Amino acid sequence: MRRIPATSAITAFSAHNEPVAVVALGESFECETQDCYAGQITSEAVLRPHIDMAHFNRATGPVYVEGVRAGAMIRVEVEAIELADTGIMALSPGLGVLGDRISVPSTRLVPIRDGHAWVTPATPVALAPMIGVLGVAPSGEPVGSSWPGTHGGNLDTRLLQAGTALFLRARHDGALLAVGDLHAVQGDGELGGTGVEIAGRVRLRVERAVVQGEEMYAGELPALRHEGGLSLLASAATIEEAIRTGFAAAVDVIQVWQGLAWEDAYRTASLIVRSEVSQAVNPLVTARITIPREWCPEPLFDEGRA
């Protein structure tokens, strides 16, 4: 299996980045990833203000996927996530929604063992490995790897785990995919500004998102297929704007899938969808609008599962 080292990484999604590897559609490949601090925090004496933020949130790639053309919807299957044996939780003034209460920066190294992240000896938290950054090159100007958007990027949604798939619209031939910012576990919202930041490996596979000549999901927002349904991921300056954008897209999807008038799709969506906060701490915040599985077409889940 092709393995791409963490040293082959970017800090901005862009069509100008030269591919570091070429894979075929349907080919499994593995990306090594650094933690979001690019390995700069080696002990609890190293604080977040000490590090070079020019290396923050590096994403391994870009990977050119043969057979993907600009404008095509792709499905990025997450086959496996492996974690390093130690994670990091660094606090700093201003970080997270209560960052105004932090006066002194501090770093905690978090051991990973026995299926838990040991934040303290008394507070083990069950592991739920997930991907923070996964995206393709955008159509316009470069987008920093700390930013989320329609290209994917720093979505920080806790459901992006092994066994799920992210639908993305390729804006360029080959898609130019990159991945990074793993978390051993992260709560919804990433409210403290940090999950358990960690290095590791991710095994991915890219497929066309088409069944019988039609796209499984034809929207422009990133969409996450998981055991509970399909979640549309909308990012904006405020959570209200993100929810509005994601909900509008969900109504359009339900209208097509159920063959309804827009007004009836709107009524139905108001009854069945769930709105959640993926992250509230990045330059743009991300809302997760979920259409439950029983309201999704079954080929969305049957085709090309890992």
* Closest to 133 in 3D by CA, of 157, 163, 169: 157
| Rounded (10°) CA dihedral 276, 280, 282, 283 | 100
User: Which pLDDT belongs to residue 302?
Assistant: 76
What class, spelled out in words, does domain 2-302 have in CATH?
Answer: mainly beta
Q: For the chain, which residues score pLDDT lower than 50?
A: 304-306
* 180 SS3 class: strand
The per-residue pLDDT for 303 is 55
Q: Which residues contact 212 (CB under 8 A, 6 or more apart)?
A: none
pLDDT at residue 212, rounded to an integer = 75
Sorted by where each begins, the domain ranges of the chain are: 2-302
The token duo for 44 is 């609890």
- Closest residue by Cα to residue 196 from 83, 274, 299: 83
Q: How many CB atoms lie within 10 A of CB 223?
A: 28
